[in-house]
Amino acid sequence: MRFSVLSLIGSAPHPLTGAVTPAAERLADVVEVAVAAERLGFDAVAVGERHAGDFLSSSPAVVLAAIAARTSRVRLLTGVTVLSVLDPVRVAEEYATLDQLAHGRLELVIGKGAEAGHFSLYGLDEARQWDLLAEKYALLRRLWREENVSWKGEFRPPLHGVTTVPRPFDGPPRVWHGSATSENSTELAARYGDPLFTANAIQPREAYVRLVDHYRERYAAHGHDPALAFLGAGSGGLCLADTTERAIERYGALYEARVRQSFKPHLVGRAGYNTPFTTVEEAVESGPALIGSPQRVIDKILGFHASYRHDLLSLTVDGLGAGRSEQIETLHRFAEEVAPVLRREAPTALWE
């Protein structure tokens, strides 16, 4: 198993104190934690993209460029690039520039996004979100693989003999497809033979298993080698302590306050927005959050691996409002006490 550290760069007030971290400090935290992640042996770092809500991640390429300047080995992922609302020409240019700066360390994770508000912000019809994603991804693929592209579609003006510059560093970067609620994303990934990234962040495990199984079935049906169907999985936050009881005591109030803070009443019943695991005990027992002792977290991740057979695990250490030093301390403990066991018990050919 490989490991990535993801930040959505949340900017909501601290769920217990109400304190708000200044934007410059919050962004600096993300860069410093990424630098620490490389030093601790993590395989990748990822930055989300949000255009609505309490987030500072509207420009992930800029943040990843700052991380690229401070690192040399760790891979740089998005999580996700909201391609449904973006211009594929701009995405091709911007991320190829980042790929050049990072000497080929970029991998894109695309999706339609997890914030309902960004479609109206960009003047787009949310009902067409999957059509938007499919058309824009088809164009992005061509722009990264071909020169002198001529193209005509529904959602942007035609192109005539276009070559985007710069070109990617060493061929098209790998593109993953973020999957949270719909078989549209799993079908799109399977059609192109791309890897899938299951959110595994809010819903019960069974909902994600259904999507993962659909992806693998359709991947093979499209004639791709099943050995190359790499899978990533998210998690609902990482909090480690000497014992699970101590973790519940330490993080329980934080977890439950964050759940209350992020609750979206207008999206009740819509999959992917409000977690059913509202108490810390529910989260520890059945939810995707990784709260507990190192052994409890190991057991939980291996349980998810039995269901998903994922190659890459995405970890979030800033979701509850922990400060920079606590985030790095958590990653250090994970790298020393958890990661070696998971690498041994769940080997993968990803990034070999």
159-213 pLDDT, tens digit per residue, is: 999 999 999 999 999 999 999 999 999 999 999 999 999 999 999 999 999 999 9
Dist. CA 211–CA 218, nearest whole Å: 11
Work out the pLDDT band at 93, boundaries 50, 70, 90. very high
Q: Is the pLDDT of residue 116 over 80?
A: no
Beta bridge pairs of residue 76: 45, 106
Among 57, 129, 63, 123, CA closest to 94: 63
Q: Tens digits of per-residue pLDDT, 258-295?
A: 999 999 888 888 888 889 999 999 999 999 999 999 99
Radius of gyration from C-alpha coordinates of the chain:
19
Ranking 61-65, 105-109, 113-117, 268-272 by mean pLDDT, the lowest is 113-117
* Nearest C-alpha neighbor of 199 from the set 289, 118, 132, 90: 289
For 107-121, give one letter per residue: b (16+ CB within 10 A) or e.
Answer: bbbbbbbbbbebbee
DSSP 334: I
ω into 60 cis (within 30 of 0):
no
Mean pLDDT of the region 4-9: 98
Position 267 scores a pLDDT of: 83
Helix (H, G, I), strand (E, B) or coil at 260: helix
pLDDT of residue 319: 87
Q: Which CATH class is domain 2-345?
A: alpha beta
pLDDT above 90: residue 148 = yes
Model confidence at 117, pLDDT cuts 50, 70, 90, reads confident
For residues 137-147, give the mean pLDDT.
Answer: 98
